[in-house]
Structure 1
Amino acid sequence: MADIHFGTDGWRAIIGEDFTADNLVRVIDASARVFKEDAIAAGRATDGLGTIIVGHDCRQDAHAYAQLAAEVAATHGFTVKLTQDYCPTPTLCWSVAQDADAVGGIMLTSSHNPAEYLGVKLRMADGGAAGKEFTDRVEAAFSDKPTSARASYVEVDLMTPYLRTLKEAVDVEAIRSAGLRVVIDPLYGAGRIHLANLLREIGVEVCEINNACDPTFDGLHPEPIPPWVDRCLAKVPELGYDAGFINDGDADRIGAVDEHGNFVNPHRIITLLTSHLAEDKGLSGRVVSTITASAMLARQCKRLGLELTSTPVGFKWIYAEMEKGDVMLGGEESGGIGIPTHVMERDGLLMALLLCETMAQRGMSLGQLVDDMFDKVGKLEFERQGLAITDEQMANFRANIVPAYAPAEVCGKKVVDIDRRDGVKFYLEGDAWVMMRPSGTEPLVRIYAEAETVDEVHDLLDAAKAVILA
């Protein structure tokens, strides 16, 4: 039996290696045990334990694995509802939150990981990610051998009510009147067909690429960052369209492309949507971002008089802030952005609709919106890289660099502050920064940097690598 652990957001493993039917049964059996403990503690036992909803993405045999998960969860006395077909993670989260009888959700996905991976995300009754305390209890409940018990479930349509809600969240008439033309790139993931058809329904001309039923993802990693977005970067200017939107494998993240074929990274999307929600839609509340967020977002919040709260990496930390209340928007640099009045989770489809709404209401292309934002908060460049290192180097990184490394300057820029909540981040003069942290989902160190020029960013990344590899 594999040694199974939950990372930043769930358990992920290679199909046929550690992700096997037996190991999935162990994970679902333990998860259902913990859901049951909490249901009983909440007094649900007298009226039935409640409902668990199960969803899955587009990976190899994902529906069959989801059926198995549903059968195992049902043995613990829950009513189990299984999606009829693949669905985005935000669909599962929204469905759980809207079902008064639901105690939680189980999503079979490996998010942005390569095609050979599959995994499990656990969601709480409000649709938010299970916290560490919950997943620690799940790990403690693992059985050495998979149970053979199975029970029945029902298949349900999760997509129709969810898509109806997305349409209700934006100004459809403004979008219809704008005559927008966009490219949609689901990267072969769970957003395929759904977002494109929804946009067509509200009057947007759509060209959808990378939308075949192909569990190999045609060799692409379903992550909405370069180089995996290159096809979309080329397609938008080729067609002369207004923008392009890219979702990850389970469609809870977003990346974008402007009319010139420039990548609009999540930093810029979050900063832009903060302005749209506050200035165009009249919303208020805190903005919550992970420690890897752009200084542009801090400048935007200061300009708009909004409080900005910073968290460690992982949307579960943003969810924890959403639980406290008074949050308008939460986002992370990897492209996960959520609005708690919709659901306490990320939603890449809703963010695409909101970007269309922003273009329509302001009468500007995506590139013009970004340029206008730069005029108001300044322009910064950003890049993230993954560095594979040896076990010995990782041990040194965790034991020495993260807790103790404290240079006075980096690349000639004075260090003005240090944050060690999640790896180590050095704030530098001029709003530049560089950060190093061990990945929660892959065996590598992630390095992040932001500065006024691309060359400065690359210098900061190289300096960080030199420290890690020394």
Structure 2
Amino acid sequence: MSEEIKFGTDGWRGIIAKDFTFDNVNLVAGAIALYINRRGLSDKGVVVGYDKRFLSEQFAESTAEVLARHGIPVFLSDKPVPTPVAAYAIKVYDTAGAVMITASHNPPYYNGMKYIPEYAGPALPHITGEIEENLKKIISKSDRGIYFKGKHILGKHIIKRFNIDEIYLEHIKQLIPFDDMRKVKLKVIIDPMYGAGIGYLKNLFDDLGWSAREINNKDDPLFGGNLPEPTSDRLTTLREWVIKTNAAFGLALDGDADRFGVIDSDGSYISSNQVLYILLNYLINRKGLRGPVCRTVATTHMLDVIAEKYGMNIIETPVGFKYIGECLFKERAILGGEESGGLSIIGHIPEKDGILANALMAGVSVLEGKSFKDIINDIKSVFGYKVSKRLDINCSREKKQEILDKMTTFKPDKLIDKKVVETITIDGLKHVMEDGSWCLVRPSGTEALFRIYAEAGDIAEVEGIQNEVRDSLGL
């Protein structure tokens, strides 16, 4: 039902033909158009992009028509594009924002729609809240057609196709050690996971003269029968290719290329948390940058340890890259990231970008002349080491409410005999211990599910913390 359309942590998503229909897409497009017009931004125009999912191009064209009928010029992508490229187009064309048709890493039968405001980062809750209110007003009208039949005539003058691939990649080259990277010849494997990121990293590495092989790069709205999410368990093929070709590393992208995945030369998976502190160390010691660092409440405190050594502030946010993006453009953070595979840096747009993340990791590999595992060991020798793990626990709806009630009074003095020195409640329930270990219990916003994140000096301590918290809450 259209009345149930809600913007989650990263836009509205739904099952194609059940929730995500042309009628509902047009309703949301109309609500976005009202938001833009009421701010007097319609003359600036809007970018519309789309990924490789089933009917994404047609949904994008329908969205463009609705916006155009509201008198808003549209820059419509001439092909599937990554979310960060659509976001960067906002800056290129100085528009009032972008609408991206994508369900990112969700299953193939989903599609989605997100509005990216004029600052080129994820929409904050007050913006999506206003769009949702506009949507309710449209739905309550007896004649919805009024929102789709404006005085402006749809025509080529108001909808124009665009392609900024070369402009975007030139920008990425300015953010990575491109000249140093040209001095070496590496063999790398790229896995865009059948998504919108096909070709971007390969073109970048081809310009370097590297031997870059791309796998899983054909059009397939079923994503090869896999979820287009670059987690360790879904990168088996990439891992095999790296090992059998003796490649320096493998790099992966999710369905809309805003998340990243990294495989080391020996087939080891480099976690998002590890990527974040590798890149922070690079930005500080190789680029000479200083400034705030932002991370979500569920992301590694290795960032805190490194930042503290250099007198830099850490900003902790709720889960969701929209809050990281806010820090990037308001606080001028040099790095912002989350444990789920999203990051961006100063000088780039405040939107997560898997292409940038992978390109930066490639640059770090060249500058250090080492495997990622060896780079991690170097960091460990200076800053120590923390192991992170997330535990997902399903339960019934009734049980979920019971656990939520228990969480309001769960205030342990110790966890695995370590004194609790701080409790944080900005998103879920987080306890920090005296040695820097921590645990976060966070309920899913949509499912009967809890996530228990923990970080400590070794995996035994991590699992000990998770088990104690799980038993205490009755999960």
Q: 2:92 aligns with which of 95, 98, 103?
A: 98
The aligned amino acid for 1:451 is: A
1:207-356 equivalences under 5 Å are 207-356=213-362
Distance across 1 between alignment mates of 2:473 and 2:76 = 45
Quote how far apart the aligned CAs of 1:399 are. 3.8
Aligned length: 461
The aligned amino acid for 1:330 is: G
Secondary structure of the residue aligned to 1:198 is helix
Quote how far apart the aligned CAs of 1:49 are. 2.3
Secondary structure of the residue aligned to 2:439 is strand
Q: 2:118 aligns with which of 117, 125, 148?
A: 125
Distance across 2 between alignment mates of 1:138 and 1:200 = 42
Secondary structure of the residue aligned to 2:116 is strand
Secondary structure of the residue aligned to 2:38 is helix
CA shift digits 1:78-110 (9 cap, x unpaired)? 10111111111110111102322x011101111
What is the aligned partner in structure 1 of residue 15 from structure 2?
14
Quote how far apart the aligned CAs of 1:361 are. 1.8
Q: 1:438 aligns with which of 421, 439, 443?
A: 443
Distance across 1 between alignment mates of 2:411 and 2:38 = 45
- The 1:149/1:390 distance shift into structure 2, 3 A limit, reads farther
What is the aligned partner in structure 1 of residue 73 from structure 2?
79
Instruction: Structure 1: give runs of 5+ residues left out of the alignment.
Output: none
The aligned amino acid for 1:380 is: K
Quote how far apart the aligned CAs of 1:212 are. 2.0
Distance across 1 between alignment mates of 2:98 and 2:25 = 15
CA shift digits 1:153-199 (9 cap, x unpaired)? 22111322112211232232211212222221212221122212221
Question: Is the CA contact (8 Å cut-off) linking 1:393 and 1:468 kept in structure 2?
Answer: no
Quote how far apart the aligned CAs of 1:323 are. 3.0
What is the aligned partner in structure 2 of residue 54 from structure 1?
48
What is the aligned partner in structure 2 of residue 135 from structure 1?
128
Question: Is the CA contact (8 Å cut-off) linking 2:441 and 2:453 kept in structure 1?
Answer: yes
Secondary structure of the residue aligned to 1:259 is coil
- The 1:343/1:139 distance shift into structure 2, 3 A limit, reads same
- The 1:19/1:375 distance shift into structure 2, 3 A limit, reads same
CA shift digits 1:254-307 (9 cap, x unpaired)? 121111111111111111111111211122211111111212111111223322
Question: Is the CA contact (8 Å cut-off) linking 1:339 and 1:345 kept in structure 2?
Answer: no
Question: Is the CA contact (8 Å cut-off) linking 2:84 and 2:257 kept in structure 1?
Answer: yes
Secondary structure of the residue aligned to 2:435 is helix
- The 1:209/1:414 distance shift into structure 2, 3 A limit, reads farther
Please say which of residues 195-204 and 455-464 is displaced more in the overlay: 455-464
Secondary structure of the residue aligned to 1:227 is helix
Please say which of residues 365-374 and 71-80 is displaced more in the overlay: 365-374
Matched, 1:200 2:206: yes
Matched, 1:427 2:421: no
What is the aligned partner in structure 2 of residue 462 from structure 1?
467
The percent of aligned pairs where both chains have the same amino acid is 33
Root-mean-square deviation (CA, aligned residues, Å) is 1.9
Secondary structure of the residue aligned to 1:8 is coil
Quote how far apart the aligned CAs of 1:440 are. 4.4
Distance across 2 between alignment mates of 1:465 and 1:107 = 39
Quote how far apart the aligned CAs of 1:325 are. 3.1
1:358-373 equivalences under 5 Å are 358-373=364-379
- The 1:196/1:323 distance shift into structure 2, 3 A limit, reads same
What is the aligned partner in structure 2 of residue 30 from structure 1?
31
Secondary structure of the residue aligned to 1:178 is coil
What is the aligned partner in structure 2 of residue 383 from structure 1?
389
Distance across 2 between alignment mates of 1:441 and 1:356 = 36
Quote how far apart the aligned CAs of 1:408 are. 2.1
Please say which of residues 239-248 and 267-276 is displaced more in the overlay: 239-248
- The 1:411/1:218 distance shift into structure 2, 3 A limit, reads farther
Please say which of residues 460-469 and 371-380 is displaced more in the overlay: 460-469
What TM-score do you get using the length of structure 2 for normalisation?
0.92
Distance across 2 between alignment mates of 1:82 and 1:196 = 24
What is the aligned partner in structure 2 of residue 397 from structure 1?
403
Distance across 1 between alignment mates of 2:110 and 2:391 = 21
Question: Is the CA contact (8 Å cut-off) linking 1:22 and 1:146 kept in structure 2?
Answer: no
What is the aligned partner in structure 2 of residue 4 from structure 1?
5
What is the aligned partner in structure 2 of residue 182 from structure 1?
188
Secondary structure of the residue aligned to 1:69 is helix
Question: Is the CA contact (8 Å cut-off) linking 1:89 and 1:250 kept in structure 2?
Answer: yes
Quote how far apart the aligned CAs of 1:219 are. 2.2
Distance across 1 between alignment mates of 2:464 and 2:238 = 28
Question: Is the CA contact (8 Å cut-off) linking 2:396 and 2:448 kept in structure 1?
Answer: no
- The 1:467/1:98 distance shift into structure 2, 3 A limit, reads farther
Quote how far apart the aligned CAs of 1:441 are. 6.2
Distance across 2 between alignment mates of 1:88 and 1:442 = 28
Matched, 1:450 2:455: yes
Matched, 1:155 2:161: yes
Quote how far apart the aligned CAs of 1:366 are. 2.0
Quote how far apart the aligned CAs of 1:444 are. 2.8
Please say which of residues 224-233 and 103-112 is displaced more in the overlay: 224-233
Distance across 1 between alignment mates of 2:473 and 2:51 = 36
CA shift digits 1:112-167 (9 cap, x unpaired)? 22222111111111201111111111111112275454834221113221122112
What TM-score do you get using the length of structure 1 for normalisation?
0.93
What is the aligned partner in structure 1 of residue 413 from structure 2?
408
Secondary structure of the residue aligned to 1:188 is coil
Quote how far apart the aligned CAs of 1:66 are. 0.8
Distance across 2 between alignment mates of 1:467 and 1:12 = 35
The aligned amino acid for 2:415 is: V
- The 1:180/1:140 distance shift into structure 2, 3 A limit, reads same
Secondary structure of the residue aligned to 1:223 is coil
Please say which of residues 447-456 and 53-62 is displaced more in the overlay: 447-456
1:160-175 equivalences under 5 Å are 160-175=166-181
Question: Is the CA contact (8 Å cut-off) linking 1:175 and 1:357 kept in structure 2?
Answer: yes
- The 1:61/1:267 distance shift into structure 2, 3 A limit, reads same
Instruction: Structure 2: give runs of 5+ residues left out of the alignment.
Output: none
Please say which of residues 392-401 and 51-60 is displaced more in the overlay: 392-401
Distance across 2 between alignment mates of 1:415 and 1:134 = 37
